[in-house]
Structure formats: C-alpha cells, structure tokens
Amino acid sequence: MGTLRAESVGIRATGLTKSYGSVQAVRGIDLVIAPGETVAMLGPNGAGKTTTIDMMLGLRRPDAGTVTLFGVSPATAVRSGLVGGMLQTGSLPDCLRVRELLSLVASYYPHPLSVDDVLARTGLGDLAERSTTRLSGGQAQRVRFATALVGNPGLLVLDEPTAGIDVEGRHEFWQVMRGLASEGKTVVFATHYLEEADAFADRIVLMAHGRIVADGPATEIKANVGSRSVRATLPDVDPESLRALPGVTNVERHGQTVILACSNADAALPALFAKFPEVKDVEAAGGSLEEAFLELTAEGDGPRLQEVAK
Amino acid sequence: MSGATHVRYELLRSLRNPLMYALSVALPLVIYYAVTSGNRHAFVSAAGVSFPLYFMTGMAAYGAMFAAIGPGARLARDRARGWTRQLRITPLRARTDYLAKVLAAYLVALPALVLVFLAGATLGVRLDAAQWFEMTGLLLIGLVPFVLMGLILGHVIATDALVQAMGWLVVFFALFGGAFGSLFNSGAMLTFVKLLPSYWLVHAGPSALIHGDWPAQGWIVLVCWTAALIPIALLAYRHDTDAV
C-alpha cells in the first residue's frame, strides 16, 4: 500500500467523457484532487456528477479519458481496499442484521475499523441487531454510509450521501464526516445542496451539463453562484464597474446582456438603476441553485442542455 | 482479507431463507414418506434396486437441486437491490464471491441429502458404508451443473420472474431425470433423458448400489454440461458487471 500512496495525487481525471446514446452525460472533465482534500461535487440533477463518480470508482468505463486513484487504476485501488463508496442508488442485502452486514463488509478490507466503533459513530448502536430489510429510508441510508466507512479506506466517494436523511440526521452525518476529514481521509461527495458543500467541503467543483463550470474554495464558488442573479441589457459598460456595485459578486457578459451574480440583490438592484439609468430588460432570477447554474452555464449550449439538466 | 467470513455469511443467509427449507428439505421429505410408505417392498429393476432406494435418491436429488440453485436466487436479489454493484467497489474478488456461493450451496445441500437418507433408512433402505459414501459423492458431483445454472439465472433474470424460472427449471430436470419415477424405459426419450445431468443425479443411488460408480456415459454427460455451463456463467457474469 505504501507504494500506492507514493503518488502525491489522490484522484486524477483527465479528459473524461461519457455518453448514453445521444445524451452526453460527461463532456470532458479534468480534475486533480490531493490526498486529504474534501471536495464537493456540486450541481443540479443531470449535471454528470453520478456518471463522473461511477467512472472514478471503475463502475463505468469512460468513452475517452482516464482516471487514476492514488496513481493506479480505479480497479486496482478498489481491490487494494483504498476506496469506500456510497452509491446514489441501491439498498441493502436481505437476510442479514445491521451488525452482520458491517462485519461482512469489514472482512473484505485489509485494515477495517471496529464494527462497534462504526455503529457508534454513525448512530446505529440501537439498530445493530435489526434486520437490514426492516429499516426506514433514513436508517438504511446511515447503514449504507457505515458500510462505506467500515473498511477504513483512504478515499471516500459518496454520491448524495444525505439524500433521504432528515435534518437532524444530516447534522450528525456531517459531524462524522468532519471527524473523518480531520483524520486525513480524502473525501469526495456529490450534492445538490449548496449549503452542504459550503459547510463541509474545502473545495467545490461546480458541475453543469457534464462539465466543470467552476472549481475553487467553497467561499469563492458560493459568491459566484450567489443567492440571486440579475440579468439585464446593458451594452458598453465595463464589467469591472458592475462588479464594484454593492451586493454583486460576479459579472458575466454575453453580448449586450450582463448577468450579475448577487449575494444581495436587494442592494445591487437600486445601485444598478442609480448608476446605469440606461439599463433595460432587468430580470431577477429566483434564488435556486439550479437556476443559478443555468444562468452561469447557459453559454453556447441552448435549451437542449437545460432539458438534460432537468 | 479472508474469504471465510464471506462463506459464513453466505451460508447464514441461505439458512435464513424459509423458502429454502420448504423446497430443499420439507418438500422432498414429505413426498418421500407419502409415496414410499405404501411401496416399501417394491422393486424398480431386476438388478435388485428397491423402490425406497430409487425414490430416496430421486428425492435427495430433487431437494439438493433446489439447494444448489439457492445462491443464484440470492445473487438475483442482491443484483436487484443494487448490492452487487456496491460489492464491486469493495476489495471482494468475484471469484471469492463465487467460491463462497458454491460452498454455501453444498453446505446446504449436504444436510438436505442426509435427511432424505435418514428417511430412507427408516423405510428399510440398507446399504453398506461404502455405498452410502459413493452415493453421496456422486450426488454432490452431479450438482455442479445445477449450481452453475443457478448462478447464470441469477445474473440474467429479474427477481420477480426468478422464483418461477428456477422452480420450473428444477421441476423439468427432476421430472425428466426420473426423480419421481422413471418416465421412459426405452426408445428415443430414454436416450434423451440420459443426456440430462439430473438423470445421473437421480441414478446416483442405483449406480452406487450396482457399480459403485456411474457408467462412462454419466461422467461424460456431466463433464459436457459443466464444460458448457462454465463459459456461459462467465459470459453472464461479464455481461452483468461489465463497466459500460
């Protein structure tokens, strides 16, 4: 295992593409993730997050491009016990109790955690003797999380890990994740909740339409996708002067149209009208992340993509 | 990593399946007692094969066939639940998984056989130790094609259709193999049923009694079925798990 870790890159994806029939799910992903990083893959449904994750885990073969985990192929990394994963879909095998399932999965890995430890950490202590088929959705999701952890892998890849978990459960979940990250594990998780990505990840990889549209520290991305975006027709204005407006975090120009990502649209709009009286066709888009993505990424690829993104 | 835990849990999961007991243990025992009680002193051939012995092997084979395809049914359920996909991102090797499933099938089949043998003994079946041993050995070997068929079905059939498919498969092979009594004693149909692996499974008892072994044809049929099913199983496995 020492030799596998010699490579200082945790995950390296180069030129990944993947299509299903006529739908291009992933359109060229280049990504380098260092060991110990916690990275959120953020994007609306259909952005290509799951396909990218499946390729990272070796569950899908890229049409083009390569992925390595700790310098080796995903299959080799998986066989060496370096990877723990939580897939987006799937339920638990039947005829087993929760503790038994975790012991079983632990037995596959070279250096597993203690099952009791994992049960305690994931709040499953009371459910240890429960049959896997008699769990609520949220409980089953916790067990799936526990199966990803119990092998004590260096890399955790989690596809929408908190889907179906209630608010309190989410809180506990991220508590556990913080602990893992502080132990130096590399964590990659997909989510479509900006708050989750922001609260937990060191870095956010923003995906839309099968591409990475932004990649950087959480604070930066959050500012870019903002809570609202304002679109207006405003030719011949220097984007920098728009960026200087209060509440505006980012500016994009598409021909005569400018798109302002706003952390505070209530402050930005009056300032916009005051400073540029010639402004026309002002629209303030709703605050959903999905809309923000579409605003930020609508360039070039028209309605077809929006359909895919839906 | 050791496969021992995996084998243990495969077995545990088999033993927790009530349908398993019904089909591989209870059903053959009930049929055996019901049918044999009235025919305790009958003979099925001039070579001295008693009805209780013949039917004991038939029912042992019938129950063991269900036990043998059990892991295939479990595989199908795991596949439907997305669990096989989850397993593919753990270090568990496919061959370890397969071996564990085969071993679990045998660990379930063996006691199922022994129970029917005990029932046979209570109804007057008397063999010497070597004959019991040979018969058990032949039955276990004859199950190989059925374990493979179970795994193949587990990879290709959706779960809701699976129980039916496996039920019909076993009934077909059991019936034509003669588990419920010889259907054909001559002609083209006899030639046909002698090409089925279940024919030799069902005739493990008489073969052990008379020759201590199958005739060459029995071995050839079983080897051919096994040789044909292994690549099909591998194909089914690849088709199911290939990264696409």
Q: A80-89, A166-175, B42-51, B225-234 — which is least confidently predicted? A: B42-51
The reply to whether A302 falls in a domain is: no
The structure's pTM equals 0.81
Note whether A90 contacts B86, CB cutoff 8 Å.
yes
A87 is written with which tokens?
């897939």
CATH label of the domain that carries residue A259: 3.30.70
Closest residue, chain A, to B243 (C-alpha)? A60
3-state helix, strand, coil in chain A (%, to 5): 35, 30, 35
Q: Which residues of A touch B104 (CB under 8 A)?
A: none
**Do A239 and A209 belong to one domain?**
no
**Do A170 and A238 belong to one domain?**
no
Distance CA A309, CA A303 (A): 10
* Res. A131 pLDDT band, cuts 50 70 90: very high
**CB–CB of B6/A104 below 8 Å?**
yes
Report, as an integer, the average pLDDT of A162-180: 86
Report, as an integer, the average pLDDT of A80-101: 94
**Do A170 and A62 belong to one domain?**
yes
Ordered DSSP codes for B185-198: SSHHHHHHHTTSHH
Q: Which domain holds residue A261?
A: 227-286
Domain final position from A195, A221, A247:
A221
CATH label of the domain that carries residue A103: 3.40.50.300
Residue A255 main-chain phi, psi, to 5 deg: 60, -125
Q: Is the pLDDT of residue A148 over 50?
A: yes
Q: Which residues of B touch A19 (CB under 8 A)?
A: none
User: What confidence tens digit (pLDDT) does each residue in B115-164 have?
Assistant: 999 999 999 899 999 999 999 999 999 999 999 999 999 999 877 788 88
**Do A217 and A231 belong to one domain?**
no
User: What confidence tens digit (pLDDT) does each residue in A194-222 have?
Assistant: 778 888 898 999 898 899 988 988 777 76
The reply to whether A168 falls in a domain is: yes
Closest residue, chain A, to B75 (C-alpha)? A93
Report, as an integer, the average pLDDT of A178-192: 91
**Do A148 and A280 belong to one domain?**
no
Q: What is the pLDDT of residue A264?
A: 76
Closest residue, chain B, to A103 (C-alpha)? B5
**Do A232 and A180 belong to one domain?**
no
Distance CA A15, CA A114 (A): 39
Q: What is the pLDDT of residue A244?
A: 87
CA B96 and chain centroid, separation: 21
**Nearest CA to CA, how far is A31 from chain B (Å)?**
21
Q: Which residues of A touch B82 (CB under 8 A)?
A: 87, 89-91
User: What confidence tens digit (pLDDT) does each residue in A32-60 have?
Assistant: 999 999 999 998 888 999 999 999 999 99
Domain final position from A221, A250, A266:
A221
**CB–CB of A22/A73 below 8 Å?**
no
Q: Which residues of B touch A80 (CB under 8 A)?
A: 91
**Do A181 and A126 belong to one domain?**
yes
The reply to whether A295 falls in a domain is: no
User: What confidence tens digit (pLDDT) does each residue in A259-277 have?
Assistant: 887 877 778 888 888 888 8
**Nearest CA to CA, how far is B13 from chain A (Å)?**
5
User: What confidence tens digit (pLDDT) does each residue in B188-236 have?
Assistant: 999 999 999 999 999 998 888 888 789 999 999 999 999 999 999 999 9
**Do A130 and A39 belong to one domain?**
yes
Q: What is the pLDDT of residue A247?
A: 82
User: Domain total for chain A?
Assistant: 2
**Do A281 and A165 belong to one domain?**
no
Percent of chain A with pLDDT over 70: 87
Instruction: Tell me B219's DSSP state.
Output: H
Note whether A93 contacts B88, CB cutoff 8 Å.
no
Task: Say if strands A64-69 and A11-20 run parallel, antiparallel, or are unpaired.
Answer: antiparallel
Q: Which residues of B touch A96 (CB under 8 A)?
A: 9, 12-13
The reply to whether A274 falls in a domain is: yes
Closest residue, chain B, to A90 (C-alpha)? B82
**Do A31 and A110 belong to one domain?**
yes
A69 vs A254, which has greater pLDDT?
A69
Cβ within 8 Å of residue A87, ≥6 positions away: A54, A59, A159, B82, B85, B86, B89
